[in-house]
Structure 1
Amino acid sequence: MLKNFQRSHFCKDYSDEIEKNIQFINSLSINEYHYKILNFKQRKNILSKVEAEVKNGNFIPFWNFFYMFDVYSSITKGIQQHHLKFPHFNSDAHFAIEDFYHLDLKDVIKNTINIKEKNTIIFTGANMSGKSTAMKSISIIVLLAHLGVAVPAGHCNIPFYERIFLHFSVNDNLKEGYSHFMQEIINLKNVLQELKTKNCFVVFDEIFSGTNINDAAKITVDTIDGLSKYKNSMFIFSTHLNLIENYLVNNKNIMLLNLESFLTDNELTFTYKLKEGWSKLEIGKILFDKYGLNDLLKQHY
């Protein structure tokens, strides 16, 4: 299989590594016995040769190559199967991902995000509209791109970030004795310390949901305003705090996005398409009533 590769398609370092392992395999004198029935003496000769190479440590580089070759093969099959695209990196803070989607979804709705001269995205929208899925899709693409792997998007051109922080579903830390809110404070502090010297990609899904609504509103505005000043980093937030909209709309570094949804005759419709602007749709009470919780709570036993 290694001999059949068009090694001109590989970078020189990996092509040289393939050639080195072909030579090692040839040195074991096993090709002449391929697909043949061997007698005892022939098998013994091969095993003796292999045993000597094992003792000399010559098989260690081969197995290292073999395991990584298996990794590369698996990645390649995944890229072909899902029609993934290799990303591009830029140095002008342009963040563009076209026709992106989440690999775990079968019937995908593709979206596009194209940001210039802004570094902060705020996602709003009703529950189940797809905010977290969109944020995770973008996060996965950024992470895979920085690992040197192709991404689930039609095109990807983003800055290179030195640190990536993805904060989804933050919980308390019983071992350290931190509450949910305290863990959020620690997460934010870790980000701020890295921002002193590094360009970062940072995601906070429903930040400061671990404290009361008045505290959450004030410190969310302070956090977003403060982080948006780090022009060479990218920050993505989601929030249900509609009362903070007026404090953020005039910040030129912020882009407001929502996942389109409609409410008609108490029936919800989700398109899962990204739209600009702040979503005002609130469906908590509607879902509460729709699933009969009011009636159940009023029952007496």
Structure 2
Amino acid sequence: MLEKDILPLFDLTNNKLARESLLNLLSEPLISQQSIIERQNLLLELKTLTPIFKGYNYPPYPFYECCNFLEQTKYKTSFSEKSLFQFKLWKRSNREIYNPLYSGISNIIVFFFPLYDKYYARISGEQYPSFKKTIHIIKNFLERFDLAENNYAIRSGTFTDKKILRILQVVDTIKTEKTFAHFLDNFILFETYISIACAIEKNKFTFPEFSENIFSVDEVYHPAVRNCVSNSLSTNKNVILITGSNMSGKSTFLRSVWLCVYLAHVGLAVPALGFTLQFFDKIFISIDHPDDIDNGLSHFMTEIKALKMVVEAAATGRCFAVFDELFKGTNMEDALWVSNKTINGLKKFSNSYFFISTHLHALDEDIDRNTVDDFFLESIVVENTPKFTYQLKRGWSNVKIGKILFEQEGLIKLLE
């Protein structure tokens, strides 16, 4: 789900290094509520930069060319001590070395000038304390190349030997001091966070709040689903059952809630108007378990193992878990028995939350509404045709549309 559902929401990066950095950030939920709040504050600070960095983009290939040039080991020829006269003499007799050097420094200037002029020159580290050091490192590195003056010189054909030698001496110093790697680390870090901040602003996501024993989400939706219907839910119980007919939107709703919980724990904003939750030590999602052929495990057995992992986590800390169509991999009788055992057993882990969708209508008669919350995704049948509102409502759904869909596809006539 990470690369398919989450990464595209925040990926406004321009190169593979920043994309990998973003993916690593998204892959690691933070270890405390305090660290989450710190990242939220950092992103709120950077959100004020989004009017400047809106539309920040560049083709990746010239970027890689600049990186390759600056990452090369020092050339045999050193320009640090060369006079202009010595440089001119060297240039005449070393064209095969000079030409790629000229191409390399020209690429640096032509590539970085518009980025510096349009974006980085307009910001100051003093304005953004969380990124003060990073911004200074980026700007100081780029300013060593006198980008505006040399870009004009290249464009106007006045890039003289004196200017060229000066840039080659700067490159020599960078290679000797090995400062490019430090610049690149900070450049990629800044691009990663700017990508997130701009995406949050673009998508109008909201930063969640943390509070003990509260789980409330307002107008949550799944941003990857076109025209997704938003829903709200608030509960003071730790086991929440979700019912609804086939195609009513149960899986989408569960993914939406899980997505918000996960993003909250990475310190990011969420696709909802508001979200309040407690801090969880572990976050699980169990949707579409396939058979594990390599280990000889059936669908049902993979469900059992996933549940065991969640229960063990809940026994030692706070966890949030989503189970979609729990125990659909076994027969109805067994599924009903183990579902009852599971629901009643999970209630005792009061510091954890468990969202479970189910297709077992008989559970309606067994659950204790005093300790378990139940909601359903609405669907109605009008003139033997199912209609889906995708609206979440409190209560239990016993609407069945399997036979209707079977008949609508003409399978009864085909099979008779």
* Counterpart amino acid of residue 239 in structure 2: T
Give CA deviations for 1:40-75 in whole Å, capped at 9, x if unaligned. Answer: 442343134224313432111211111122222222
**Considering only CA atoms, is the larger Rg found in Structure 1 or Structure 2?**
2
Please, which of 396, 401, 404 is the counterpart of residue 283 of structure 1? 401
Alpha carbons 1:120, 1:254 under 8 Å: kept: yes
**1:244 matched to 2:375:** no
Aligned twin of 2:316? 197
Please report how far the alpha carbon of residue 271 of structure 1 lies from its aligned counterpart in structure 2 after TM superposition: 0.9
**1:129 matched to 2:248:** yes
Q: Which runs of 5+ in 1 are unaligned?
A: none
CA gap 1:275/1:57 in 2 versus in 1, 3 angstroms: same
Give CA deviations for 1:225-252 in whole Å, capped at 9, x if unaligned. Answer: 111211111100011101122221x253
CA gap 1:212/1:3 in 2 versus in 1, 3 angstroms: same
Alpha carbons 1:163, 1:201 under 8 Å: kept: yes
Alpha carbons 1:7, 1:15 under 8 Å: kept: yes
* Counterpart amino acid of residue 206 in structure 2: K
Please report how far the alpha carbon of residue 144 of structure 1 lies from its aligned counterpart in structure 2 after TM superposition: 1.2
* Counterpart amino acid of residue 171 in structure 2: V
Alpha carbons 1:30, 1:46 under 8 Å: kept: no
Q: What's the secondary structure of 2:245's corresponding residue?
A: coil
Please, which of 329, 334, 352 is the counterpart of residue 210 of structure 1? 329
Please report how far the alpha carbon of residue 275 of structure 1 lies from its aligned counterpart in structure 2 after TM superposition: 0.5
Structure 2 counterparts to residues 108-257 of structure 1, below 5 A? 108-116=228-236, 118-248=237-367, 250-257=368-375
Aligned twin of 1:107? 227
More strand by share: 1
Q: Which runs of 5+ in 2 are unaligned?
A: 1-118
Please report how far the alpha carbon of residue 30 of structure 1 lies from its aligned counterpart in structure 2 after TM superposition: 4.4
Please report how far the alpha carbon of residue 100 of structure 1 lies from its aligned counterpart in structure 2 after TM superposition: 1.0
Cα distance in 1 for residues equivalent to 2:385 and 2:161 = 77
TM-score (norm 1): 0.91
Cα distance in 1 for residues equivalent to 2:263 and 2:373 = 24
CA gap 1:6/1:119 in 2 versus in 1, 3 angstroms: farther
Alpha carbons 1:129, 1:260 under 8 Å: kept: yes
Bigger Cα displacement from structure 2, 281-290 vs 30-39? 30-39
* Counterpart amino acid of residue 290 in structure 1: Q
Identity of paired residues, percent?
Answer: 36
Q: What's the secondary structure of 1:150's corresponding residue?
A: coil
Bigger Cα displacement from structure 2, 36-45 vs 226-235? 36-45
**Number of residue pairs matched by the alignment:** 294
Please, which of 112, 122, 138 is the counterpart of residue 4 of structure 1? 122
Cα distance in 1 for residues equivalent to 2:216 and 2:126 = 32
Cα distance in 2 for residues equivalent to 1:54 and 1:207 = 59
The CA RMSD measured in Å over matched residues stands at 1.8
Give CA deviations for 1:89-133 in whole Å, capped at 9, x if unaligned. Answer: 11x2101111111102232322111122x1111110100111111
TM-score (norm 2): 0.67
